[in-house]
Amino acid sequence: MVQSIMKNKFKEGDLVFAKVNPDQSLIVTCHLDRIYYCAIIGKPELKDGAYFERELINLEDKNQ
């Protein structure tokens, strides 16, 4: 039996950006499978957003 090992692209504490709003800095607070919960940097009063891995980019991808 072949098992595929799921690996998360981002880890808790990583700085990321949503593809739909790349000017908004987010920080990964936790992840479950391929869903990431992110807080908006500088807006602690707002609830964490939930994103699929494919909806997020890291700083290197943003600058390309």
Between 13-17, 42-46, 57-61, the lowest mean confidence (pLDDT) is in 57-61
Residue 6 has pLDDT above 70, yes or no: no
Residue 32's CB is within 10 A of a number of other CB atoms, namely 9
Is residue 4 in some structural domain? Answer: no
Stated as kind and residue range, the H or E segment containing 17 is strand 15-18
Q: What pLDDT is attached to residue 41?
A: 96
Per the domain annotation, does 5 fall within a domain?
Answer: no
For residue 49, tell me if it sits in a domain: yes
pLDDT at residue 7, rounded to an integer: 78
Q: Is residue 37 part of a domain?
A: yes
> Is 51 within the bounds of a domain?
yes
- DSSP letters, 19-48, are TTEEEEEEEEEEEETTEEEEEETT-TTSPP
For the full predicted model, state whether its pTM sits above 0.85: no
Report pLDDT digits (tens) over 33-46: 889 999 999 999 99
Query: Quick one: pLDDT at residue 1?
Result: 45
Domain that holds residue 37: 15-55
Q: How far is CA 28 from the centre of its chain?
A: 5
Q: How many domains does the chain have?
A: 1
Distance between CA 61 and CA 28 in Å, rounded? Answer: 16
